[in-house]
């Protein structure tokens, strides 16, 4: 008997009709002989409504109370889904985070799952009961409700799959898989059959909004295969109608490049004429750490006269005001010009096969140059190359790169 | 320092503006030097929406899942109210039923509160923190969410007041007190300054929808004074702007009649020609008990020939189909004609002073006779007289009785 965790996102449970359709999919998996656990998100729009209430009361609200408010949407769906399954003759019960419990860190609003105590749930699964767990939530060491941040139900699902030793975690969503690029920009983008954890991690953190980054991290660490598939299409024939995110070793044909991702969520900061002395960079980036701001791409060049350097880096766009504020107070930057630019896009080429292939970067630079696109910053890792461009080139660059690596024809 | 529990109902917390206004009232009580605990209902309409979702999924849903769904409205208000208090510089935190915990019976949908474990809450109150408890909910012995039935937040508030040893429980609602009759029917109905627990209990169970019956029972048993007052009017001057529900001994001027209540929620069943033998009545009402149907007014008359009796009684209107079904299967009723009538109203005259006054019933019968209203059934207790009338006379009868007892002039 194969054990699966099935997760249904907000659009898959948008209203009671959608919940019924999701229940039919769950019933079909049970009819196939699988042992099932379910994780659900809030009905589409509900979490936004709850966040809006919090904002109306106070933009600077207590994160513990924010969590106590916004976690309720998932409780509601969990109860309704249990009812919808029972209606189909399936023994089912809802679980709220505190009932399991799903133990989390105390970082409210962005908590991490520490442990899922499955003893009681496991016992009930053994008796044929289908657990329906409210995603996105858990409890802190102080027994307060915590939430996992946007997309957190994916993480709940993968963590539950790991805790239950499930063979796979199926994430039902409003897209039918992971694509080589955003299909809204590249109409002929191709759905990937399989993608490695590492690639998915880069894609998720680089703007492909299919899975929460943290869920991929847990899947990779715990070796849980994750399938992304559509809740609006019927599975016909294929065992894996979506995209399977899995270990590199399980992917026979590894592509050099598997996807083009982009994000407009970053902003660029340039420090012009920084004193070229030991400890200056540590002072600058130390001030960012103190302000709890993540710094992404960093580039440093020696200036013309050799006594000063120019440093450029990126931060999340939402962190830019705080970052500039912290830099202005940084004594190492006395006399340094601080420039910032929000009008940028980071475009990335991702592929596990590029480790063993030369010329991947060259193809990228050439394709962008042919379209007359200037590269502002470059950063590379083993399996991705990212460049920073003027925001207006975002779509053009993504389409040019998709074509240059021949992604649609494969 | 006076300790008070303040409860805000659905219309008092209908949106974030209402929640802010309620927070201002709470802040004012704290400024008066009182120590405060707060209980909140769901934002008006939210519980109905959640009930409607349950009904859409399945009219015959699992009561445990129903509770897991409908209890979330109160969690949301509790978090938002804590934020609204914090914004005003008041240390506050929300409590969900499971966090306290509020321990309840396992009777889902209509659970009773068994105990409120206030140890941790008490500790925090001692440090100046205002607890904001989600009303209407608790947990069962199986750690499932339970709800207390419609109006259950009143019961949560009174039970919390009892547990915390509060001096009073203030119920903020959309009316400014308890009236001598429904002001929609009797425009000159008078607001009562004080009313005894016993009278309030009769009024609550006889259709005055100001307080949940169970909350009055607990208040009486635990001797918690309860004030009903408006959340939409400002308190000017008076310490008790609403109606104080309290011990009989604390009411100096006891009225003979304090109120006229009515309910259209009952149905009448008449059994014509029942065999006049020992055990027959036991068989009939035993079948009602088996079907878990509460029977209210019962009248039995000897029939003309002395070998048969006619029995009339009332049940909740929603129970009528099940009651008739049970009676048709009752072997003691072979050959008996079973009649039913939903078109009735029960009108009651309530007053603690009637215990020591004669002629109260006579005033009632005379006033109804003068309007040509036929009395179908009569039942009395120490502090109330109820009559069953054709439904069409409801308003006329209430107004006639209100005038007959001179209630508006006092």
Q: Are residues B61 and B204 in the same domain?
A: yes
Tell which wins on pLDDT, B133 or B182: B133
Residue B207 binned pLDDT confidence (cut-offs 50, 70, 90): low
For range B338-343, the mean pLDDT: 95
- Which among B196, B180, B174, B190 has a CA at the least distance from the CA of B245? B196
Q: Please, which pLDDT band fits residue B409 given cuts at 50, 70 and 90?
A: low
Dist. CA A188–CA A166, nearest whole Å: 34
Residue B181 has pLDDT above 60, yes or no: yes
Residues A341 and A377 in one domain: yes
Contacts of B202 (CB under 8 A, 6+ apart): B261, B348, B350, B381, B383, B384
Q: For residues B111 and B101, give the distance between their C-alpha atoms in angstroms, rounded to a whole number.
A: 14
Q: What is the pLDDT of residue A151?
A: 86
Give the CATH number of the domain where residue A261 resides: 3.30.2130.10
Structure tokens at B140: 């069962």
pLDDT tens by residue, B86-124: 999 999 999 999 999 999 999 999 999 999 999 999 999
Q: Which of A15, A60, A76, A136 to mutate to test the interface with B (most CBs of B within 10 A)?
A: A76
Given this model, what pLDDT does residue B235 score? 66
Across the A:B interface, residue pairs with CB atoms under 8 Å apart total 109
Statement to judge: residues B127 and B23 lie in one domain: yes
Domain boundary among B291, B313, B338: B338
Same domain for B88 and B212, yes or no, is yes
B50-75 average pLDDT score: 95
State the nearest Cα–Cα gap between B98 and chain A, in angstroms: 8
- CATH number, domain with residue B313: 3.30.70.260
**Per-residue confidence (pLDDT) for residue B236, from 0 to 100:** 60
- What's the pTM value of the predicted model, to 2 decimals? 0.87
Q: Identify the weakest region by mean pLDDT among B9-13, B288-292, B305-309.
A: B305-309
**A96–B79 C-beta distance less than 8 A:** no
Q: Is residue B12 part of a domain?
A: yes
| Residues A129 and A224 reside in one and the same domain | yes
CA distance A57 to A59: 7
pLDDT value of residue A235: 66
Distance in angstroms (rounded) separating the CA atoms of residues A218 and A224: 8
Cβ-nearest to B54 among A73, A83, A99: A83
> Mean pLDDT throughout B375-402?
93
Least confident of A251-255, B169-173, B222-226, B339-343: A251-255
- The answer to whether residues A222 and A283 belong to one domain is no
Is residue B350 assigned to a domain? no
Q: How many CB atoms lie within 10 A of CB B329?
A: 10
pLDDT score of A254: 76
In chain A, residues with a C-beta closer than 8 Å to the C-beta of B54 are: 79-80, 83
Residue pair B265/B46 in contact by the 8 Å Cβ criterion: no
Chain A residues within 8 A of B66 when measuring between CB atoms: 79, 83
Does any domain span residue B28? Answer: yes
The tokens for A208 are 């492909």
Answer yes or no: is B259 within a domain.
Answer: no
- Residue of B56, B68, B86, B136 to mutate, testing the A interface (most A Cβ within 10 Å of its Cβ): B68
Same domain, B229 and B298: no
What span, in angstroms and rounded, lies between the C-alpha atoms of B225 and B213? 15
Containing structural domain, residue B310: 270-338
- Indicate the number of domains in chain A: 2
Same domain, A211 and A338: no
Confidence of residue B281 (pLDDT cuts 50, 70, 90): confident
Final residue before a domain boundary, out of A248, A267, A294: A248
- Co-location of A227 and A116 in the same domain: yes
Token pair 């016992």: residue:
A123
Distance CA B205, CA A244 (A): 60
Using an 8 Å CB-CB cutoff, list residues of chain B that contact chain A.
Answer: 16, 19-20, 50, 53-54, 56-58, 61-62, 64-69, 72-73, 75-76, 78-80, 82-84, 86-87, 93-94, 96, 98-99, 143-145
Nearest CA-CA distance, residue A141 and chain B, Å: 12
Domain for residue B328, yes or no?
yes
- Which one of B48, B79, B82 would you mutate to disrupt binding with A, by most A Cβ within 10 Å of its Cβ? B79
Does A409 share its domain with A324? yes
How far does the CA of residue B58 sit from the closest CA of chain A (Å)? 7
Per-residue pLDDT of chain A (410 residues; tens, 9 = 90+): 899 999 999 899 999 999 999 999 999 999 999 999 999 999 999 999 999 999 999 988 899 999 999 999 999 999 999 999 999 999 999 999 999 999 999 999 999 999 999 999 999 999 999 999 999 999 999 999 999 988 899 999 999 999 999 999 999 998 889 999 998 899 999 999 999 999 999 887 666 678 888 999 999 999 999 999 998 887 665 667 899 999 998 888 778 899 999 999 899 999 988 888 888 888 899 999 888 888 988 888 776 677 888 899 999 998 899 999 999 988 888 888 999 999 999 999 999 888 888 889 999 999 999 999 999 999 888 899 999 999 999 999 999 999 999 998 65
Pick the last residue of a domain from A248, A271, A302: A248
Question: What local confidence, expressed as pLDDT, does residue A59 receive?
Answer: 86
What tens digit of pLDDT does each residue of B310-335 get?
899 999 998 999 999 999 988 888 88
Residue B195 lies in a domain: yes
| Whether residue B151 sits in one domain with residue B45 | yes
pLDDT at A157: 98
Residues of chain A found within 8 Å of residue B73, distances taken between Cβ atoms = 72
Q: Testing the interface with B: which of A75, A79, A92, A138 to mutate, by most B Cβ within 10 A?
A: A79
Q: Which CATH number is B205's domain given?
A: 3.40.1160.10
- Cα separation, A24 vs A39, in Å, equals 15
Distance CA A163, CA A91 (A): 21
- CA A178 to CA A384: how far, in whole Å? 17
Q: Based on the domain organization, do A69 and A177 belong to the same domain?
A: yes
Contact A99 B143 (CB under 8 A): yes
Query: Regarding beta strands A137-139 and A145-147, do their DSSP bridges make them parallel or antiparallel, or are they unpaired?
Result: antiparallel
Kindly state whether residue B19 falls inside one of the protein's structural domains.
yes
Helix or strand (DSSP H, E) at A230: strand A226-230
Distance CA A299, CA B208 (A): 74
CB contact under 8 A, A65 and B56: no
Instruction: Supply the DSSP symbol for A179.
Output: B
């Amino acid at each position: 008997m194969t054990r699966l965790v099935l997760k249904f996102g907000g659009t898959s449970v948008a209203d009671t009709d959608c919940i019924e359709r999701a229940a039919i999919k769950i019933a079909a998996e049970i009819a196939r002989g699988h042992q099932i656990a379910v994780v659900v998100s809030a009905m589409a729009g509900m979490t936004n409504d709850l966040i809006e209430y919090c904002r109306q009361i106070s933009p600077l609200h207590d994160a513990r109370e924010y969590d106590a408010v916004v976690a309720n949407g998932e409780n509601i769906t969990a109860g309704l889904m249990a009812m919808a399954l029972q209606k189909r003759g399936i023994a089912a019960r809802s679980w709220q985070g505190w009932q399991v419990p799903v133990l989390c860190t105390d970082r409210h609003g962005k908590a991490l799952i520490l442990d899922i105590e499955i003893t009681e749930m496991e016992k009930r699964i053994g008796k044929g009961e289908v657990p329906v767990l409210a995603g996105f939530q858990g409890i802190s060491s102080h027994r307060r409700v915590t939430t996992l941040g946007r997309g957190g139900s994916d993480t709940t699902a993968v963590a539950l799959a790991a805790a239950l030793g499930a063979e796979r975690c199926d994430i039902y969503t409003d897209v039918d898989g992971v694509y080589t690029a955003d299909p809204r920009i590249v109409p002929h983008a191709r759905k990937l059959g399989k993608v490695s954890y590492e690639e998915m991690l880069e894609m998720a953190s680089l703007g492909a909004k299919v899975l929460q980054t943290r869920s991929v991290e847990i899947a990779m660490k715990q070796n849980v295969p994750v399938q992304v598939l559509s809740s609006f299409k019927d599975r016909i024939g294929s065992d894996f109608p979506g995209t399977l995110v899995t270990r590199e070793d399980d992917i026979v044909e590894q592509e050099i490049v598997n996807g083009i991702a982009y994000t407009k969520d970053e902003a660029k900061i340039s420090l012009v004429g920084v004193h070229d002395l030991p400890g200056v960079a540590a002072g600058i980036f130390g001030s960012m750490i103190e302000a709890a701001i993540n710094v992404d791409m960093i580039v440093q060049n020696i200036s013309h006269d050799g006594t000063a350097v120019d440093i450029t880096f990126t931060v999340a766009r939402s962190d830019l005001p705080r970052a500039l504020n912290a830099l202005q107070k940084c004594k190492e930057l006395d006399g340094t010009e601080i420039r910032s630019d929000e009008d940028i896009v980071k475009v990335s080429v991702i592929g596990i096969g590029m480790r063993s292939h030369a010329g991947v970067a060259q193809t990228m630079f050439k394709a962008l140059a042919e379209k007359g696109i200037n590269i502002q910053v470059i950063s590379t890792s083993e399996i991705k190359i990212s460049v920073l461009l003027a925001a207006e080139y975002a779509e053009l660059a993504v389409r040019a790169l998709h074509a240059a690596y021949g992604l649609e024809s494969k």
